[in-house]
A and B are shown apart, each in its own frame.
Chain A
Amino acid sequence: MLPSPTALTIFNSNYEPGNFFAEMAVPGPRVRPHYKRLASRLDTLSVGDFEQRRAAVDLAFLRRGVTFTVYHDDAGTERIFPFDLIPRVIPNQEWTRIEAGLIQRITALNLFLDDIYHGQKCLKDKIVPPALVLGAKHFRREFMNCKVPRGIYVHICGTDLIRDISGNYLVLEDNLRCPSGASYMIENRTAMRRAFPGLFQSYGVRPVEAYANELLKALLHIAPARSEKPNVVLLTPGVYNSAYFEHCFLARQMGIPIVEGRDLVVRDAHVFMRTTAGLEPVDVIYRRIDDDFLDPLVFRADSMLGVPGLVNAYRSGHVALANSIGTGIADDKVIYAYVPKLIKYFLGEDAILPNVNTYLPSEPLDRKFVLENIEKLVVKAANEAGGYGMLIGPAASKAECAKFRELVAAQPRNYIAQDPINLSRSPTWCDGRLEGRHIDLRPYILYGEKITVTPGGLTRVALRKGSLVVNSSQGGGSKDTWVLQGDE
């Protein structure tokens, strides 16, 4: 079957295939099998139809308040997360491999955390240089030898995957602290169902809506044994946080109260919430506050968002936290480089999902290489998120490269460098036509009684032409992610 003209507009005169993996179709033009139904559906739509659906979806997002807060921006401050109507489709075969890789990875990282906070065998066996762990910003020595409920450190994980030029899935980074975006995964699906109701029936797209239910199960799994009907709450920094919408959304989906630090109080190492009828015990806290702000008695003393005494209550086993404290050591970008080795060490397996080739300036040989080749590399600060503190060498000016060369030389431990990966591209609606834009994928992994990976995830897209940065804070948008029951 010849692909449709609409789907093909990206291959018209203005299309440059470039040196990237094309998600939907390769010039020729050949539409990949799992995109064929989508292509024929798009074929039946006029530009006007498409624009109309797009406007309806945007309006629905705005009305329902599906927004995120933009910092350093006085006007508006609340924006909708730009959404692209062309979904990303993943055939079952690819997904099975991704799923296995993610489960393997979180299992190993959890064992690593358990080891770091107890015996530190992997340091003694010289798998990871001890200095990298013990000197890390997110290593919480206060938590040495603390027993966590059911031995689980990371209950909710969002792992960022990208595809190289041959279409191989690579792990770009792990998010083991407070990964966000799961609400958009579900909201995007709702929007797509409304925009293209017919497609879902014929395509066999696996639903993502079970996420909230699985999350609640994972949270209940760690409840202290004493209570029959445990009280689970979601701890938010408050309405001004950029992810506040998500906090509310998840709390609603799970039917649990959303609380701020000031709603909680600790008495005798037990946590309570202040209700109109007095104090009510709290058993599990899904916290969306960073370690630093969690408890002013242990971490940042000036925190107004936390709960004094919370850490002590956690240590005493009277309350469970998800994720646990100190998980940041395992998503440190320097430790990232060691994850394949850790998988081998703890599980005796080879990593199913490889890392992006990474150089560690803390190692003398790598440092030399990085400093000499900085303009060909991507340099990232080890502990920044959201696309901040990052250099994309090939796209940067000489001055920027020089600046990063200085930064890396001064504090090699705080940086990593990676080969630039030409992220795969997916057709994306830009100013009235489809153009190729770079995308990544953040699937969500939940670690409860068993490990589940929600079939789907958040596909982020760099809307700016040529940009490789997909973060919402840097002009990124998102797409719905369709994992298929079958392969086409």
Chain B
Amino acid sequence: MTRTKSPPTRPQATVMLSRVAHSLYWMSRYMERAENLARLLDVNLQLLLDFQGFTDTTIKEHWGSILLSSGDEELFAQHYQAADSRNVTEFFSFDVRNPNSIRSCVNAARENARMVRDQISAEMWETINELYLYLAELSAKEIWASGGAGDFFNNVKRSSHLFQGLTTSTYSRSEGWEFIEFGKYLERADKTTRILDVKYHILLPSATDVGGAVDTAQWQAVLRSASALEAYRRFYVSEILPWKVGEFLVFSDSFPRSLHFCVTQVDEFLRRILGDSGPRPRTAAGRACHRLLADLQSLTITNVLQEHGLHEFLEEVQKSLDTISHEVVETTMFYPAESSSDVQQQQQQQQ
């Protein structure tokens, strides 16, 4: 595979440090990630409330599938005994040992925002900083003591929405914007695959409930995890059918959290970032994105279910997204994007 190391020159003369581009990209990804986590946890906690009949075992299976889809089951097992609601919520919300917890994501988003504090608007910075300060004062214990995590998840989601809205309304449409949007849609696409995959893991142990009340509720939960329930209803005006949920979340060309929609955006911003406008992209990232987009534009849900299997298909998509992300970093950064080492940190303080 050939890699284009030097990116093509851009038409307009913008100057953006590679490090800044990288930080904007990660800032945006981490905010989106925190929001998706909050929604996923919120929906699933509510789901369990709706079905008091769940036994400890089913609850365990339920959370186990979420851990599995996020790929964090090993880390969880290292630090927690049982996969119950409380432990999983704690692990995904507040535990800084989990690099993908809401708190870790917000910390990382803020750290990146701090590095580009001079680039983003004051409003964007304040939104991230306030969310960070809000989280810094909270603990899981307080959340449970105050009778539920609903408000907490709402606050996280709202901050992310506010942040994205402010980005749209206060940030110049510059190269930085392209990195921000690229990061946001890439993260969102990845999270949508994982939200769908949760259900696949739930279904595995016992496929007997298909079509039952629990099953419907679970598919509803999948849609709600992607804020897609109402959009789905308006689109299909029918009951909730598993394959239709899959079709909607993978192929919809108008719903802004569907894979197809997200990848279309990823492709668009990738072209702009790399200045790659020909029909056949010159970069590996561009080609990987084209291939993925072509799949999403040409396959049907029947193809996916029968020829690939949903889980396998989603895994392939995740891999493609990873490739795209890595390639972009490679082409737009001229040095390894390492975070500060201890020595570096020490020297910064000696100043």
Contact = CB atoms under 8 A, between A and B. Distances in A.
A237 B348 contact: yes
B126 A63 contact: yes
B15 A257 contact: yes
B126 A276 contact: no
A218 to B, nearest CB: 19
Given A274-B334, A276-B17, A277-B14, 4 more contacts: A251-B118, A252-B118, A257-B17, A305-B347
A276 B351 contact: no
17 contacts: A64-B129, A237-B351, A238-B344, A241-B349, A242-B349, A243-B351, A248-B114, A257-B20, A257-B118, A262-B19, A263-B17, A274-B333, A275-B16, A276-B16, A304-B344, A305-B344, A305-B347
Interface string B14-29: 1111111100000000
Interface string A52-65: 00000000001111
B351 A275 contact: no
Contacts of B118: 248, 251-252, 257-258
Interface residues of A, number: 41
A425 interface: no
Contacts of A243: 351
A62 B16 contact: no
Interface in B191-236: none
Contacts of B58: none
A275 B129 contact: no
Nearest to B12: A277
B168 interface: no
B2 interface: no
Given A237-B347, A237-B348, A240-B340, A276 B115 contact: no
Interface in A284-306: 288-290, 293, 302-305
Interface of A: 62-65, 69, 71, 178, 231, 237-245, 248, 251-252, 257-260, 262-263, 273-278, 280, 288-290, 293, 302-305
Contacts of B345: 238, 240
A289 B351 contact: yes
Chain B interface size, under 10 / 10 to 19 / 20 to 34 / 35 or more: 35 or more
B17 A304 contact: no
Main secondary structure of the interface of B (DSSP, over half): helix
Contacts of B122: 64
A278 B10 CA distance: 10
A215 to B, nearest CB: 14
B80 to A, nearest CB: 25
Given A63-B133, A248-B118, A290 B16 contact: no
Contacts of A64: 122, 125-126, 129
Contact of B6 (A71, A237, A278, A289): A278
B17 A303 contact: no
Contact of A304 (B6, B10, B16, B347): B347
B157 to A, nearest CB: 20
Given A275-B16, A276-B273, A277-B9, A305 B348 contact: yes
